[in-house]
Amino acid sequence: MHIADIDTGHGRIVAQRCSVLQATGVVPEADWPGCAVIARIDSLRQVKGKASELEQRYYISSRQLTPAELAQAVRSHWAIENQLHWVLDVTMREDASTVRKDNAPENLSLLKKIILNILRTDTSGRKKTSLRLRRKRAAWDDGLRAQLLGLKLL
Protein backbone atom coordinates (compact mmCIF):
# COMPACT_ATOMS: atom_id res chain seq x y z
CA MET A 1 0.00 0.00 0.00
CA HIS A 2 1.15 3.54 -0.55
CA ILE A 3 -0.02 7.13 -0.36
CA ALA A 4 1.30 10.25 -2.11
CA ASP A 5 1.30 13.78 -0.72
CA ILE A 6 2.45 17.21 -1.90
CA ASP A 7 3.13 20.01 0.58
CA THR A 8 3.91 23.62 -0.27
CA GLY A 9 5.04 26.52 1.85
CA HIS A 10 7.99 28.76 2.71
CA GLY A 11 9.18 28.66 -0.91
CA ARG A 12 9.32 24.86 -0.95
CA ILE A 13 7.41 22.13 -2.70
CA VAL A 14 7.81 18.67 -1.17
CA ALA A 15 6.40 15.58 -2.86
CA GLN A 16 6.40 12.39 -0.81
CA ARG A 17 5.21 8.87 -1.33
CA CYS A 18 4.91 6.52 1.62
CA SER A 19 4.86 2.77 1.00
CA VAL A 20 4.08 0.27 3.76
CA LEU A 21 4.64 -3.48 3.63
CA GLN A 22 3.61 -6.06 6.21
CA ALA A 23 6.74 -7.40 7.92
CA THR A 24 5.44 -10.95 8.30
CA GLY A 25 7.53 -13.26 6.11
CA VAL A 26 9.85 -10.40 5.10
CA VAL A 27 11.58 -9.45 8.34
CA PRO A 28 12.97 -12.32 10.46
CA GLU A 29 11.19 -12.32 13.84
CA ALA A 30 14.47 -13.22 15.57
CA ASP A 31 16.18 -10.09 14.19
CA TRP A 32 13.31 -7.63 14.78
CA PRO A 33 10.92 -9.02 17.41
CA GLY A 34 7.53 -7.33 17.30
CA CYS A 35 8.11 -5.68 13.92
CA ALA A 36 4.70 -5.26 12.26
CA VAL A 37 5.43 -3.16 9.17
CA ILE A 38 8.34 -1.84 7.19
CA ALA A 39 8.05 1.37 5.23
CA ARG A 40 9.81 3.60 2.77
CA ILE A 41 9.23 7.28 2.17
CA ASP A 42 10.38 8.65 -1.17
CA SER A 43 10.83 12.40 -1.06
CA LEU A 44 11.56 15.09 -3.64
CA ARG A 45 12.01 18.74 -2.65
CA GLN A 46 12.01 21.84 -4.76
CA VAL A 47 13.30 25.01 -3.08
CA LYS A 48 12.96 28.28 -4.99
CA GLY A 49 12.71 26.38 -8.28
CA LYS A 50 15.77 24.21 -7.66
CA ALA A 51 14.99 20.49 -7.40
CA SER A 52 16.82 18.08 -5.11
CA GLU A 53 17.72 14.45 -5.64
CA LEU A 54 15.34 11.66 -4.68
CA GLU A 55 15.71 10.85 -0.98
CA GLN A 56 14.56 7.49 0.35
CA ARG A 57 14.11 6.87 4.07
CA TYR A 58 13.26 3.51 5.62
CA TYR A 59 11.32 2.82 8.81
CA ILE A 60 10.17 -0.12 10.88
CA SER A 61 7.25 -0.09 13.27
CA SER A 62 5.84 -2.40 15.89
CA ARG A 63 2.37 -0.94 15.20
CA GLN A 64 0.14 -1.81 12.28
CA LEU A 65 0.10 1.54 10.47
CA THR A 66 -1.44 2.57 7.19
CA PRO A 67 0.72 4.64 4.84
CA ALA A 68 -1.17 7.80 5.86
CA GLU A 69 -0.66 7.06 9.59
CA LEU A 70 3.04 6.32 9.14
CA ALA A 71 3.59 9.47 7.05
CA GLN A 72 1.84 11.54 9.74
CA ALA A 73 3.93 9.94 12.51
CA VAL A 74 7.15 10.75 10.64
CA ARG A 75 6.04 14.36 10.00
CA SER A 76 5.06 14.78 13.65
CA HIS A 77 8.41 13.44 14.84
CA TRP A 78 10.38 15.82 12.63
CA ALA A 79 8.15 18.76 13.53
CA ILE A 80 8.99 18.20 17.20
CA GLU A 81 12.71 17.77 16.44
CA ASN A 82 12.85 20.87 14.25
CA GLN A 83 10.87 22.99 16.69
CA LEU A 84 13.08 22.00 19.62
CA HIS A 85 16.28 22.65 17.65
CA TRP A 86 15.00 26.01 16.40
CA VAL A 87 13.98 27.12 19.90
CA LEU A 88 17.30 26.01 21.38
CA ASP A 89 19.20 27.87 18.67
CA VAL A 90 17.16 31.08 18.90
CA THR A 91 16.80 31.10 22.70
CA MET A 92 20.14 29.64 23.75
CA ARG A 93 22.25 30.23 20.61
CA GLU A 94 23.14 26.54 20.64
CA ASP A 95 24.50 26.51 17.08
CA ALA A 96 27.02 29.22 18.02
CA SER A 97 28.49 27.13 20.84
CA THR A 98 32.21 26.39 20.52
CA VAL A 99 32.22 23.78 23.30
CA ARG A 100 33.56 20.56 21.79
CA LYS A 101 35.63 18.71 24.42
CA ASP A 102 34.66 15.41 26.09
CA ASN A 103 31.11 15.32 27.50
CA ALA A 104 30.73 19.09 27.74
CA PRO A 105 28.57 19.54 24.59
CA GLU A 106 26.10 16.86 25.71
CA ASN A 107 26.02 18.17 29.30
CA LEU A 108 25.43 21.76 28.18
CA SER A 109 22.72 20.66 25.75
CA LEU A 110 20.93 18.83 28.56
CA LEU A 111 21.18 21.88 30.84
CA LYS A 112 19.79 24.11 28.08
CA LYS A 113 16.80 21.79 27.64
CA ILE A 114 16.17 21.84 31.41
CA ILE A 115 16.33 25.66 31.39
CA LEU A 116 13.97 25.79 28.42
CA ASN A 117 11.45 23.61 30.28
CA ILE A 118 11.72 25.79 33.40
CA LEU A 119 11.14 28.91 31.31
CA ARG A 120 8.12 27.31 29.64
CA THR A 121 6.52 26.57 33.03
CA ASP A 122 6.98 30.17 34.20
CA THR A 123 3.80 31.22 36.07
CA SER A 124 4.98 34.72 36.91
CA GLY A 125 2.46 36.32 34.54
CA ARG A 126 4.79 36.83 31.59
CA LYS A 127 3.42 34.06 29.34
CA LYS A 128 3.39 36.27 26.24
CA THR A 129 7.02 37.24 26.72
CA SER A 130 9.41 35.38 24.42
CA LEU A 131 11.51 32.58 25.88
CA ARG A 132 14.66 34.48 24.97
CA LEU A 133 13.53 37.55 26.93
CA ARG A 134 12.39 35.39 29.87
CA ARG A 135 15.87 33.82 29.93
CA LYS A 136 17.50 37.24 29.92
CA ARG A 137 15.21 38.55 32.66
CA ALA A 138 16.02 35.53 34.83
CA ALA A 139 19.73 36.14 34.26
CA TRP A 140 19.38 39.79 35.32
CA ASP A 141 17.01 39.30 38.28
CA ASP A 142 18.12 37.09 41.20
CA GLY A 143 14.59 37.08 42.63
CA LEU A 144 12.97 35.93 39.39
CA ARG A 145 15.64 33.27 38.89
CA ALA A 146 15.12 31.98 42.42
CA GLN A 147 11.35 31.93 41.87
CA LEU A 148 11.71 29.96 38.63
CA LEU A 149 13.95 27.45 40.40
CA GLY A 150 11.60 27.22 43.38
CA LEU A 151 14.17 28.70 45.79
CA LYS A 152 13.77 31.27 48.57
CA LEU A 153 16.31 34.05 48.88
CA LEU A 154 17.67 34.69 52.34
- Residue-wise pLDDT tens digits, 36-66: 999 999 998 888 888 888 899 999 999 999 9
Taking the C-alpha atoms of residue 77 and residue 143, their distance in angstroms, rounded to an integer, is 37
114-117 contacts at long range (C-beta below 8 A, 24 or more positions apart):
116/87, 116/88, 116/91, 116/92
Task: Report the topology of domain 2-67.
Answer: S-adenosyl-L-methionine-dependent methyltransferases (2.20.130)
Domain boundaries, the chain: 2-67, 97-149
Mean pLDDT of the chain: 86
Q: What are the distances in angstroms from CA 22 to CA 27, 31, 37, 63?
A: 9, 15, 5, 10
What does the pLDDT read at residue 9?
76
Question: What's the pLDDT tens digit per position in 120-153?
Answer: 887 666 567 888 888 888 889 998 888 888 888 7
What does the pLDDT read at residue 125?
63
- The reply to whether the predicted model has a pTM over 0.75 is no
